[in-house]
Structure 1
Amino acid sequence: MHPPHRRTALLALATTLGLLVAGCGSAESATSGASSSGAGGGQLSIVTTTNVYAAIARAVAGDRARVTAILDDPSADPHSFEATPADQVAIGKANVVIANGGGYDDFAMKMVEAAPSHPALLDAVEISGLDAGGHPHASADAASGAGEPAGHDHGVFNEHVFYSYPAMAKLANALADKLSADDPAGAAAFRKNAASFTAGLDKLTAQATDVGKKYPGRRAVVTEPVAGYLLDTIGIADATPESFAEAVEEENDPSVKDVAAVSDLLKQHQVSLLVYNDQTSGPVTDQVQRTAESAGIPVAPVSETLPPGVDSYLTWQQRTIGGLASALAAAPEAGR
């Protein structure tokens, strides 16, 4: 869950963009013929909030749609991203907008609402069905691998559903259905592409499960719950003190007591690895990383967007799983 001041900033930005789009609404209507698809009669247009969803959209749409990611800078932090009026224009021209949802990218929701063309919105969290209202914390069940994981979010719903392979399979199929409705001539291709993508997701699940079987019962300190669903799939339990995790997630400084508790976990080799979001950092998380390295605890970086040189979701996830496996293999004996 994102900090209140982040959400306030995004909502304020969306309001500003809503005012700006009013100035270009008449132009949009003139060029698109007031079509509810928002893209006119040419190639389908898909706009996504991050390059993660752009990669999935390209995998499903192939060359029958133009895909644009609002956030495609691998070095950017999605939490502090500021959209532009040009992003509002792109959304206004889209047939489909794909957003993460769950409070992760509210700026996109507001821009869709502000667009005169009313493009279709695919909300990954909503489609996933993971946020059923109970917001359970599943780390206690992670090692057993029981059921669909809810993510390492200490009692609060983990909105980072792009690390849930079942969720991404549902999104791919929903996108194929929507594109098929908009472009019936491409329906067979869309559904074939979606099936190929979901087959790749099945292979990722098997890869992650194999890692868990090789390294059962492992624990980790996690600076942010970005990869929580993947950790659950592997069976890595989140040992991070709840109050520490909540403070970091809210961009507050954890207490001295919490920092000491995390340091003890690392120094005493009570965990196998540190899972670190390499797109966000601060004095405390940097200190935790240094402590882990000094203690000989492997650090496994994870990210919220595709890294430089990677344009495939499946490749990104394969490498992430491989990085976690390598970290587990290098863990000190006591941490195992």
Structure 2
Amino acid sequence: MGALLLAGSAAAQSDALYFSPDLGSDFTAPSAFDGLYAGVLIGPISARKNNFNTVGWDIRPEIGGVVGWNQPVAPGVIVGAELQGTVATDFSSSAYLRLMALARLGFAAGDNSLIYMLAGAGRLGESWAFEAGIGAEVMVTSNMGLRLEAAGIGQLGPVPNGNNVPAISAMRITSGAIWQLDGGPVSTGFSSGPVTDFSGFYAGINIGSLADPQFNFFDDYGHGWHLSRFEMGGLAGYNHALGDMIRAGIEVQLGANYDTSGDAGLDALALARIGVVPVPGVLAYAAGGVGLVEAAGAYAFGGGLEYALWGDVALRGEALLLGRMDGAPGLTGISGPTTSKVTIGTVWHFD
């Protein structure tokens, strides 16, 4: 009788949502990115406007650590939170702290990788600050991965020294080694699933640069003239198969661009694409379309290459030239397609 009661209790608990629900394996993929993790961080940080720090090197290394938690919420999707703490030093008499509480939204890529977006707030040097960026983690052993992330940093309110700069005024590119402390051992291979044929709907995240050397789109917003900015954004589209090798489609891109002087802007493009799949897992394509850059009408053309590194998730590289729809010359008196948008990204194909 006692055994029956215990069995009944265990069955009731296993059915209760509050008692360790048994999620399907597709909800936890990849299983390493689940639960507690910790690691070490290192990389350069640039704070050149003398608002977060006023002495020492403008660009310097920072070293520190991270601890956080990942929670799967849907097939291949995780949300999480982490604390980062680093010391940025010029190895003389100048050093400052970066202490950030960050939220993360991540998407599985294949069997061993996680692509994520992050945002949060904390302290940088002498001021409260916010951060936003994009990163990636790749498992290289059964429980340890390598991380690379980039984030823009801006002020939250005025700084004590009075050198206030709007928008983004600092930036970091951080690498790290991350140990997954709760997840089970995982494969270090990139994919064991089927390879996309690059047809159907897709969506992705990209990162790169927007350069305007003739200043056809960029202006002096009170912080000087700057010819290049960092770019982060997303994309979505649809490819239609015209036979075994040809793909035709449409795509929408939305990006945020910034530098560390306080300049920031948005760009949006609607593109038509035509591509070829010369071998399984590879798509080479040309693209062209119109949109807005810095609120000015723009046209764009170029191309790119996708490689199905993670099976149904591809690594992309793309380069576009942009020009003003009205043909107006820039600061240097030169018009035409002289602005470039160069990005790398990760694309999830839902075919």
TM-score range relative to shorter protein:
under 0.3
Hey, which of these two has a bigger chunk of helix by percent?
Answer: 1
With normalisation by structure 2, the TM-score equals: 0.23
> TM-score if structure 1 supplies the norm length?
0.24
**Highest relative contact order (Cα 8 Å, sep 6+), 1 or 2?**
1
